[in-house]
Amino acid sequence: MAFAILNTMSEGFERTVQRNGLVLVAVLAVLTVMNTLLASTAMEPAGTADPTVGVLGFVMGLLSFVVAIASVVTMIVALRVFASGETEHIPRAFVRRTIGLATLNVIVGGVVFAVIVTLGGVLLVIPGLFLLVSLYYWSVFVAVEDQNFVRAFRSSWSLTRGSRLRLFGLGVAVVGLLVVVTALVSIPAAPFGIVGAIVTQTVGAALTMYALATTVSAYDQLRTLDQPDRPDTQPDMPGTPA
């Protein structure tokens, strides 16, 4: 059985619009809007000698950093929720279980992933795209299976073997959809100032959750293809339904 692109995208949408998905959209939207407001508050005319301005900028920068970390944690929890099949409530274990280590691995792994893909793209476009598709699912292994990012890269490489062309097609379809929806929302919202920005950020949060849900849906399908005799391919974790 071949990897099914349309089924993956449809399942990603279904997971996003369920109760847990909508809760995660709301949380990420609030964090994104907060970060935007903090960034705009911290912007002051250059050259001022008022020490209060410097203190305010430091505090705003610190708060922005905290919000950014909270956003990463939210996306880790989202991957766990979408992989678990939970739709009505978010188990506390998904928020607490090795969350600090997972967050550190996602941040460091994200930087390493970006460097690897960028270097591949600089050498030639094709190697960059190949590495992008082959290693893309590393974050799921970090969040769901508690792997470090190095092992997660190897796991993603193994998981995507044999389906990379179709996964590239999935990526093109999802990115294209996100670009179109973002343009349809952000362009009309631009003249409405802060209200328009909040609407755009909220839609952006929903699209981010959809991308994460689709990633997990693809991950599930790839595991099924890799181990077709297993009736349940979900890794065991606290709070995961049997």
Q: Which amino acid is at 234?
A: Q
Q: How far apart are CA 214 and CA 113, in angstroms?
A: 19
Q: Where are the domains of the chain?
A: 9-42+57-221
Task: Quote the distance between the C-alpha of residue 222 and its chain's center.
Answer: 18
Pick from 236, 27, 231, 228: nearest CA to 145:
236
Q: What is the pLDDT along the chain (242 residues), one digit of tens a residue?
A: 678 899 999 999 999 999 999 999 999 999 998 888 777 665 554 445 556 666 777 788 888 899 999 999 999 999 999 999 888 899 999 999 999 999 999 999 999 999 999 988 877 778 889 999 999 999 999 999 999 999 999 999 999 998 999 999 999 999 999 999 999 999 999 888 888 888 999 999 999 999 999 999 999 999 988 665 544 444 455 444 33
DSSP 57: H
Q: How far apart are CA 212 and CA 218, in angstroms?
A: 10
Contact indicator for 23, 232 with CB cutoff of 8 Å: no
Please report the pLDDT score of residue 85 as a whole number: 86
Q: What is the largest CA-CA distance in the chain?
A: 69
Neighbours of 99 (CB within 10 A): 17
Q: How far apart are CA 220 and CA 76, in angstroms?
A: 16
Please report the pLDDT score of residue 227 as a whole number: 66
Q: How far apart are CA 177 and CA 181, in angstroms?
A: 6
Q: How far apart are CA 235 and CA 242, in angstroms?
A: 10
Please report the pLDDT score of residue 226 as a whole number: 67
| Torsion, Cα of 49, 51, 52, 57 (10° steps) | 90
Please report the pLDDT score of residue 232 as a whole number: 44
Q: How far apart are CA 1 and CA 167, in angstroms?
A: 14
